[in-house]
Amino acid sequence: MLIQVGYELVFYCSQETPMILMVNVHYSRASDIVSPDILVTDPETPMKAYRDGFGNWCTRIVAPIGKTCLKSTGVVRDSAKPDPVMPLAKQHALQDLPEDTLVFLLGSRYCETDLLSDVAWSRFGQTTPGWSRVQAICDFVHNHIVFDYQQARATRTAWEAFNEGTGVCRDYAHLAIALCRCMNIPARYCTGYLGDMGTLPPYGLMDFAAWIEVYLGGAWHTFDPRNNVPRIGRVLVARGRDATDVAITTTFGPNTLASFKVWTDEIAESVPQVG
pLDDT tens-digit readout, 130-146: 999 999 999 999 999 99
Q: Decide if pLDDT at 199 tops 90.
A: no
In this prediction, residue 207 carries a pLDDT of 87
**Vertex 51: Cα angle to 50 and 52 (nearest 5):** 120
Task: Give the closest residue to 124 by CA, choosing from 77, 76, 176.
Answer: 176
pLDDT category of residue 26 using cuts at 50, 70 and 90 = very high
The CATH 2.60.40.2250 domain(s) of the chain lie at 2-79+248-267
CA distance 263 to 275: 35
In this prediction, residue 208 carries a pLDDT of 93
Residue pair 27/237 in contact by the 8 Å Cβ criterion = no
Mean pLDDT confidence for 42-57: 96
pLDDT category of residue 237 using cuts at 50, 70 and 90 = very high
Q: Decide if pLDDT at 271 tops 60.
A: no
The CATH 3.10.620.30 domain(s) of the chain lie at 94-240
- Report DSSP state, residue 30: G
In this prediction, residue 42 carries a pLDDT of 97
Please give the CATH topology (third level) of the domain spanning 2-79+248-267. Answer: Immunoglobulin-like (2.60.40)
The CA dihedral of 20, 102, 182, 191, to the nearest 10 degrees, is: 30
Provide the percentage of residues in the chain whose pLDDT is more than 90: 91
Provide the percentage of residues in the chain whose pLDDT is more than 70: 98
Please give the CATH topology (third level) of the domain spanning 94-240. Answer: C8orf32 fold (3.10.620)
In this prediction, residue 143 carries a pLDDT of 98
pLDDT category of residue 258 using cuts at 50, 70 and 90 = very high
List alpha helices for 66-151, DSSP H: 113-124, 131-144
Q: Decide if pLDDT at 194 tops 60.
A: yes
CA distance 142 to 155: 20
pLDDT category of residue 240 using cuts at 50, 70 and 90 = very high
pLDDT category of residue 202 using cuts at 50, 70 and 90 = confident
Q: Decide if pLDDT at 273 tops 60.
A: no
In this prediction, residue 77 carries a pLDDT of 96
**Non-local CB neighbours of 121 within 8 Å, separated by 6+ positions:** 182, 183
Beta strands in 132-203, from DSSP E residues, in sequence order: 146-147, 166-167, 187-194
pLDDT category of residue 129 using cuts at 50, 70 and 90 = very high
